[in-house]
Amino acid sequence: MKIKKIPYVNLKKCLINLSKKRMERIKLSKRIKSVILGTLLGDAALNIQKNFKNARFQMRHGHVQKEYFDWKVQILKSLGTEKAVHFQEPDGYQKKKHVGKWHFQTRALPELTQIFEIVCSSKKRKQIKRSWLNHLTKESLMVLWLDDGSLLRKKGVLCTEGFSKKENLILSKYLKQVWKIDTNVIPILKKRNLPTPLVLSNKGVGRFHHPSVEREVEQEQRFYYRIRINTTNLTKFFRLIIPFIPCASMVYKVCIDYVDPELKQRWISILKQQLPQFSKKILEVYANRVSLKK
């Protein structure tokens, strides 16, 4: 019997050499760039304000995520000032249950301008491109999940509807090729508020709304896109990011809600093994879910 010869594969040629890329040459620590890039896939922003030459990075988190917000701030604090953090009170247009958000903003820095030029499009908005996704780390993926990931019992969703279908497909392909995580890009039909129409105010034409008047907001329906991860690939993804979860308050994000008691207990054991410092919180999350179902 003739044995088929296995072709030789040069693994060094298969690896992407990032050492000469623009992102690698930016004079910020790898940790800072890792957290910034992961957060930029979520709600964070890079922008160049009017009359400024360089870009600033800013992010917001709700009060319930204060511990996670503080962890990010600790990593990025060298980019800010003593007044980089402040609490934004809810305004009159937000829901009553909204209790405000924590806000962090850096100084305007040339290093952030360099990231801005790589990450943002010609229209100065964030744009997912494979060239900068290649610089993500496991910690970046953890930040992406804690920012925009959502558990649907045994499945997961990345709420990346702020990006186009094409951009979501680029991210999905990246997760498959680099991290061996299979995902699907799915359409979501949502309503969005249209810009307030121009009306005649007592000062001429402009956007006018009296606080005592209930305003009817026009809405339109359109498709947005998210990334869905099935159970098998979600567990693979979680095994990559679990060791990097920084605080107990965010552990619930990786507590898969298995129906099968044996599978659930097995996953709890994995979590406790990877995050022994949060063992008590892991058990508390599952116990609370059981009590809510009763």
CATH code for position 78: 3.10.28.10
The residue type found at 185 is V
The predicted structure's pLDDT at residue 211: 45
Average pLDDT, the chain: 85
The answer to the question of residue 162 being in a domain is no
| 222 contacts 37 by C-beta, under 8 angstroms | no
| Residue after which a domain boundary falls, among 136, 163, 191 | 136
As a whole number of angstroms, the distance between CA 61 and CA 75 comes to 15
Nearest Cα to Cα of residue 235 among 254, 260, 262: 254
End residue of a domain, out of 92, 120, 136:
136
Residue 269 neighbours by CB under 8 Å, 6+ apart: none
Tell me: the pLDDT tens digits for 97-137? Answer: 557 899 999 999 999 999 999 999 777 889 999 999 999 99
Q: How far apart are CA 232 and CA 229, in angstroms?
A: 8
What are the backbone dihedrals phi and psi of residue 158, each rounded to the nearest 5 degrees, phi first? -95, 115
Sign of CA pseudo-dihedral 273, 279, 283, 286: negative
Residue 177 included in any domain: no
Residue 39 lies in a domain: yes
Looking at the domain assignment, is residue 67 inside a domain?
A: yes
pLDDT digits (tens, 9 = 90+) for 167-224: 999 999 999 999 999 999 999 887 766 555 444 444 444 443 444 444 444 556 788 9
Distance CA 223, CA 188 (A): 5
**276 part of a folded domain:** yes
3-state secondary structure of 108: coil
Is position 155 within any domain? no
Structural domain includes residue 179: no
Number of domains the chain contains: 2
Domain's final residue, options 76, 111, 136: 136
Residue 208 lies in a domain: no
Q: Find the domain containing 127 and state its range.
A: 18-136
